[in-house]
Amino acid sequence: MANIPNLLTLLRIVLIPVFVALFYLPVPWARLVCALVFGAAALTDLLDGYLARRWNQTSPLGAFLDPVADKLMVAIVLVLLVQADPSPVLALPAAVIIGREITVSALREWMAEIGSRAKVAVSMAGKLKTTAQMIAILLLTLRDPLLGLPIELIGILLLYLAAGLTLWSMVLYIRAAWPSLMGQEVPAESPNSER
């Protein structure tokens, strides 16, 4: 179903190869333009869900595409950043974030198969993780100091914060799904989990 929220989500996916191409341009302004592209993609992430709810344009396609677009953009950009700076300091939080996304996506899929998808729904703490992650990636893409601020260091610290929140949210997901994973009856109410 073509509507503006879905088109914004599709735009986020289209921006991925644009980001990749710009990332490898051998020009001094490439990182700045990449940061702008990532920032635009992050804005579409904020807008698509808000507009879908406000205009009552939620759809199964949008519900499927939105998390896919988010995870693709984050995983691909993290891989590019680690490839450009192959240090354990950057690789560790990137591996944690990507590994968690794979684990939680598989858990969500399995929970949906048994009819318990709502047990692993997104909550406010998950949004905090996403916000820290997006700002971290934006700063790490930009990399160079800005207005005297150590942009890269701030980005790394925020990425570690995002990785910590990512692990916390994964634990909450697994805790919410644990009775189902153990083959026990799922309680009527389970603790909220994160994105």
Q: How many domains does the chain have?
A: 2
pTM of the model: 0.83
Residue 6: HSE in the Cβ half-sphere, 13 Å Cα cutoff:
12
Q: How many Cβ atoms are within 10 Å of 129's Cβ, its own excluded?
A: 22
Q: Which two tokens stand for residue 70?
A: 């988010």
CA distance 12 to 6: 10
Task: Give DSSP secondary structure letters for 78-129.
Answer: HHHHHHHS--HHHHHHHHHHHHHHHHHHHHHHHHHHTT-GGGG---HHHHHH
Alpha helices in the chain (DSSP H): 4-23, 30-54, 60-84, 88-113, 124-142, 151-181
The answer to whether residues 121 and 188 belong to one domain is: yes
**Is pLDDT above 80 for 135?**
yes
The answer to whether residues 68 and 104 belong to one domain is: no
pLDDT of residue 188: 45
The answer to whether residues 140 and 160 belong to one domain is: yes
pLDDT in tens, 59-118: 777 778 888 888 999 999 999 999 999 999 999 999 999 998 898 888 877 777 776 655
The answer to whether residues 126 and 55 belong to one domain is: no
The answer to whether residues 54 and 93 belong to one domain is: no
CA dist 131 → 19, 32, 46 (Å): 20, 20, 10
pLDDT in tens, 149-163: 899 999 999 999 999
What domain range includes position 63?
1-84
